[in-house]
């Protein structure tokens, strides 16, 4: 598996094949907050079974440095030639664990008896019945590399946020 982390084409494949099935409906909050997610993918050695990863991404407030009315990027970071006059950024962090059954407050990895598609339907039904609207749902082609899929999820959220 260590070699797979070095295979950029394989990692690109995981990234490209990851699907964000459901985005949080509440939108992004401007202060510090937590963005829950559920990721489902086939178990590597037993494709008829699946693995569910439930976690939370900690999201920083927007860092907005405008050209007027406040300090510029150059003033804050002592840089005046490279960056544009306006910068918007976020910092995301999440825990990672490989090849283990893990449960903590931040991350839970569980193997499931049903296949990935069947388990995904169960997850979506559970969220619908409980009327949970703040949780993203993601599918991955290879759950061993779920951080790549989480990166895809974050990028889609950022694309949505910064288009507004």
pLDDT tens readout for residues 126-164: 999 999 988 999 999 999 888 889 889 988 877 666 565
For the record, the structure tokens of 120 come out as: 């995904």
pLDDT tens readout for residues 113-126: 999 999 999 999 99
Residue 10 lies in a domain: yes
Residue 156 lies in a domain: yes
Residue 80 lies in a domain: no
DSSP-assigned letter for residue 135: -
Question: pTM for this structure?
Answer: 0.69
Domain hosting 13: range is: 2-61+87-163
Residue 134 lies in a domain: yes
State the total domains in the chain.
Answer: 1
pLDDT at 2 (0 to 100): 55
- Answer for the pair 139, 40: CB distance below 8 angstroms, yes or no: yes
Residue 147 lies in a domain: yes
CA max distance for the chain? 58
> In sequence order, which residues have a C-beta less than 8 Å from that of residue 79 and are 6 or more positions away?
73
DSSP SS3 for 92: strand
pLDDT level of residue 60 (50, 70, 90 thresholds): low
Residue 78 lies in a domain: no
- Answer for the pair 71, 65: CB distance below 8 angstroms, yes or no: yes
- Rounded mean pLDDT of 5-32? 80
């Amino acid at each position: 598996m260590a070699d797979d982390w070095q295979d950029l084409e394989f990692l690109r494949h995981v990234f490209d094949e990851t699907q964000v099935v459901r985005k949080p409906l509440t939108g992004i909050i401007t202060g510090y907050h937590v963005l829950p997610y559920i990721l489902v993918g086939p178990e590597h050695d037993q494709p008829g079974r699946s693995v569910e990863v439930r976690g939370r991404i900690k999201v920083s407030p927007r860092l907005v440095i405008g050209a007027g009315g406040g300090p510029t990027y150059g003033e804050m970071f002592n840089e005046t030639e490279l960056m544009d006059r306006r910068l918007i950024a976020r910092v995301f962090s999440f825990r990672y664990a490989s090849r283990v059954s893990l449960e903590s407050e931040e991350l839970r990895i569980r193997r499931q008896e049903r296949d990935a598609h069947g388990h995904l339907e169960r997850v979506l039904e559970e969220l619908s019945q409980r009327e949970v609207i703040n949780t993203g749902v993601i599918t991955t082609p290879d759950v061993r590399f779920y951080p790549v899929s989480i990166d895809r999820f974050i990028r889609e959220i950022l694309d949505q946020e910064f288009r507004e």
